[in-house]
Amino acid sequence: MKSKYLLMGLLAALFLSGCSTVPIVGRKQLKLVPDSMMVSQSAVSYREVISEGPLSTDVAQTETVRRVGVRIADAVERYLKAEGQSDRIKGFEWEFNLIEKDEPNAWCMPGGKVAFYTGILPYTKTEAGIAVVMGHEIAHAVVGHGAERVSHQLLQQGGGVLLVLYTEDSEYRDAILAVYGVGSQLGAILPYSRMHEREADRLGLIFMAMAGYDPNEAVGFWQRMAASSAEKPPEFLSTHPSDERRIRELQAHMPEALEYYKP
């Protein structure tokens, strides 16, 4: 019984000590994992990915991706400095690479390590289209969504351990644990993942606008992605919002983003 209360106390202390506020959005977020740990681990993983490559040999495309990345990183740094939140990117060493891969994807690791796959370029089409994706992916890293996801998983696992302890004498233990696993995934993990995507969409619009790119380009990009995608699972089973919701919310956030746009 003592171990149960110790674990409950530890989880409560971690929860209370790990809260911060998302820029612009204002949402309280839970981060139990130090940003410095995420940054250092990401740097190692990024080097492994880049070494495997293969990096694109198209000089013009590679330079365009890097140019967009530098402009958006500069906008992020200016915004955070003005808001007194530069600590959010402490330890970041920006890097932008284009990998020769057909998959339409891009990502930014904690620490500002960005990779674009050549497979996404037919959908971005223009430099502003690249800025849509770049702003979105950099927003994930700046806000610390990676650390937040790890924190939620730690809490989920901690809750599971408590449930194991409290149901050790129950004949319904397996059923209870199964329900907990499904319920926590559908009721917490996946909804938070979708919320992260929507936050990155909103912040990405603002960051690209601050960098001098027209945020209206985001709607066309996501419409092209939606038109090319295969059938997707229902939204409540997905880590991402539906294409329709994403486009609708981008349009709703457009007036806010345009306030930052100075062509």
Give the residue numbers annotated as catalytic, written as ranges.
137
Q: Compute, in degrees rounded to 10, the torsion defined by CA atoms 156, 194, 71, 142.
A: -20
Half-sphere exposure of 194 (CA within 13 A, CB side): 19
Q: Which residue has the tokens 């955070």?
A: 80
For Cα atoms 60, 216, 120, give the angle at the middle one, nearest 5 degrees: 40
Q: Tokens 């004949």 correspond to what residue?
A: 171
CA distances from 95 to 145, 174, 196, 198, 246 (A): 19, 47, 22, 24, 28
- Whether residue 54 is preceded by a cis peptide bond, meaning omega within 30 degrees of 0, is yes
**Residue 108 φ/ψ, nearest 5 degrees:** -135, 120
Q: Can you give the C-alpha Rg of the chain in angstroms?
A: 20
Q: Which residues are 106's β-sheet partners? A: 116
Specify the 3-state DSSP secondary structure of 77: helix
DSSP-derived 3-state class of residue 108: strand
Q: Which of 113, 98, 135 is nearest to 221 (CA)?
A: 135
- CA gap 41, 95 in Å, rounded: 15
Give the chain's length. Answer: 263
End-to-end CA distance of the chain: 64
